[in-house]
Amino acid sequence: MDVLTIPGTPQSQQFYRETEQWVLANYTGSYAAVRAEWSKGWAYSGTAAWSDPTVLGSTIPAAYRAGQPVGDNWDTALATLDRYDPARIYSNTFLDGFLP
């Protein structure tokens, strides 16, 4: 799902957060799954995208673990990144926090 507004629309960040929180709360368990599309905004704090610590630290990693086989999930991806970039030369502050 992608929801667009015109840049600078008043209260758009709050709207994005409310919409994201509703989607995450309503599409769960065996009924449905929600996974972030990397090219879109997600983890809305109400003031900015990619800034809600709970969504970043728990919700998104859990979404990429749920229903995925061991050895082919979020943790596998992290291990692969660590193996191929142990010095973290292709990282930045955001990725270091999001992909510890």
Give the pLDDT confidence score for residue 72 in this predicted structure. Answer: 94
Tens digits of pLDDT across the chain (100 residues): 677 888 889 999 999 999 999 999 999 888 898 998 888 889 999 999 999 999 999 999 999 999 899 999 999 999 999 999 999 999 999 998 888 8
Give the pLDDT confidence score for residue 10 in this predicted structure. Answer: 93
What domains, with CATH codes, occur in the chain?
A: 12-98 (1.10.45.10)
- Is the distance from CB of 47 to CB of 13 less than 8 angstroms? yes
The predicted model scores a pTM of 0.85
CA distance 63 to 13: 22
